[in-house]
Amino acid sequence: MLPQTIICIGRSGSGKGTQVGLLEKYLREQGPLIPSLHIETGQFFRAFIEEQGISAQLAKKIYLDGKRQPDFLAVSMWGYMLCKDYTGVEHLMFDGAPRSATEAQVVEDAFAFYDRFNSAKFAKPKVIYVDVPAEWSMARIHERGRIDDKTTEEIQNRTNWFETDVMSAIKFFESNPKFDLIHIKADKPVEEVHAEIISHLA
């Protein structure tokens, strides 16, 4: 198996983080000599907003209001992780990013920079859209009870910008021949979703 390039996108509470974790485990079993780099911007943001400084304060207010962070800040986060940790040989997995068509274009630019479209070296990049109904997503968010999951209004805000912003990123990838978009209906057991995802891996 060639190193995989995978973008996992879905609503908050869709289970995309769980699926990326299962994918990492599966890929280790298939090829233990190939490392993985998991770019998880949500976790990075949650750590960042607890820091001091104006940028962290502004980002924390956006986070607690359930609004989407500006593209420049999101790109700077995962761009920093790539520049710091990427070695050029690993499976590369984006979890929860990009969240807009503009950010998706920067992802494409980054993949070109790192030669991830080279079919002799890497599997064709895949975008896994973990699709669940809004009601399913909101129920899962209420259950997990993170700091940004406190009120129905905050959760509804994230649902709204998924429809307006994140869907534009999904449409960008769907129309881009450099990527394979895999649409997974994920309102079913975790194991079934995982099995369907790995059936698409080359």
- Decide: 154 and 66 in contact? Cβ < 8 Å: yes
| Residue-level pLDDT at 19 | 92
Q: How far apart are CA 49 and CA 54, in angstroms?
A: 10
- Decide: 75 and 102 in contact? Cβ < 8 Å: no
- Collect the ranges in the chain with pLDDT lower than 70: 136, 138, 141-159, 202
Both tokens of residue 19?
A: 């699926």
The residue to which tokens 């996108």 are assigned:
9
Residue 61 half-sphere exposure, CB side, CA atoms within 13 Å?
A: 5
| Residue-level pLDDT at 16 | 87
Closest CA to 159 of 136, 190, 187, 130: 136
Q: How far apart are CA 119 and CA 142, in angstroms?
A: 42
Pairing label, strands 91-95, 126-131: unpaired
Identity at 78, one-letter amino acid code = W
Both tokens of residue 46?
A: 């949650």
| Residue-level pLDDT at 70 | 93
| Residue-level pLDDT at 157 | 64
Cα distances (angstroms) measured from residue 125 to each of 140, 180, 200: 28, 6, 11
- Decide: 149 and 42 in contact? Cβ < 8 Å: no
| Residue-level pLDDT at 183 | 96
